[in-house]
Amino acid sequence: MMSSATVRPWLMMMMISIVTLLFQVQQLAGAQLQRQVAAVFVLGDSTLDVGNNNYLPSKDVFRANKPYNGIDYPASKPTGRFSNGYNVADFIAMKLGFKKSPPAYLSLLQGPAAAANLTLAIKALTGGVSFASGGAGVLDSTYAGKCIPLSTQLRSMEATRAAMVSKVGTRAVAAHLARSFFLLGVANNDMFVFATAQQQQNRSATPAEVAAFYTTLITKFSAALTELYEMGARKFGIINVGLVGCVPLVRAQSPTGACSDDLNGLAAGFNDALASLLSDLAARLPGFAYSIADAHAAGQLAFADPAASGYTSVDAACCGSGRLGAEEDCQVGSTLCADRDKWAFWDRVHPSQRATMLSAAAYYDGPAQLTKPINFKQLARTTA
């Protein structure tokens, strides 16, 4: 048992922490005049990861914690982002009135459990949290052991919600989450893994296999969105699967450097199923609002007319080595392009900082054909 001398300082520290938290939340109420949503919560893959993978212990984990990653980020240092600077989560958060993406969930759990839980609650209540992980997919089997799958990200969001409830109560958290923006970008890696499995068998997937693949993905995606809704989420910004068949890693496998029509077609079929799913959820779940950011269509526009986006290269990696810069990961000693703003791809899989900036602008309030049924700006302004 604790002695009274031990209990009193402990209680005093907790009271101070809670008072501090409530004061910060009060301050935030004023700051919300500049922000369009209460907070941003991010789930997804390496296009959104801001450093969660840095905290995973396995040596096989996908990481971006070494140069030249982060070369254009403030302080020119690696942050865990798979980018030369900011990524699309950062730019979308900026559009919504924040300085950058919310912090990585695992970065908030360092230190003693009680202090970490308080830090997590404060961050979640005053800006949000990112659960995204490089390599993650909808399926647990996608790059298993190398990332944090969507199912685990949901458990982390659940723990975050519990931390908030323990500090300010269920009703306040429900209101907070209903006013928050949930950004999701996942399933790109599921496409890669499925296509690679067929390639290793030296065959194409049958229509029945593709249909079963879609069914599994959509079922799990539906369960994930429903679970977030039950936690209190109402605003869902969903980035669909992009032109995964046109990344330098895939192009380098073609004798002519061409995109893979099969892989792009696989992504397009999934995107159609995803759109149907979201329409169905909106019809069934009161207050469920969503916007689909069409990364697939945005890529088609950029690649059809690179000059219109200011690109001089849309097929090679700015940082890499070998053919199309796609034979090795970006690392110290890699070939590095001089004008990174003119390259669509940073490394052999990921877009450059400028590419993600243009994408975020398009999703927020760009051409109508790139967001359905509303854009991210309109979504942020919806009320449950």
- Separation CA 243–CA 256 (nearest Å): 17
User: CA dihedral defined by 275, 276, 279, 281, rounded to 10 degrees?
Assistant: -110
User: Does 291 participate in catalysis according to the annotation?
Assistant: no
The span from the CA of 304 to the CA of 312, in Å, is 12
CA distance 267 to 240: 9
d(CA 347, CA 320): 6
Residue showing tokens 């302004």: 381
Assess whether 72 carries a catalytic annotation: no
Query: Which residue in the list 133, 176, 260, 350 is annotated as catalytic?
Result: 350
Please name the residues in contact with 187: beta carbons below 8 A apart, sequence gap of 6 or more: 137, 138, 217, 221, 240, 241, 270, 274
Could you give the CA distance from residue 126 to residue 96 in angstroms, rounded to a whole number? 14
Distance of CA 173 to the CA centre of its chain: 22
Catalytic residue check, 261:
no
Active-site residue among 46, 101, 291, 352? 46
Q: How many CB atoms lie within 10 A of CB 113?
A: 8
Catalytic residue among 180, 347, 352, 359: 347
**Angle 361-102-172 from CA coordinates, rounded to 5°:** 110
Q: What amino acid positions are annotated as catalytic residues?
A: 46, 347, 350
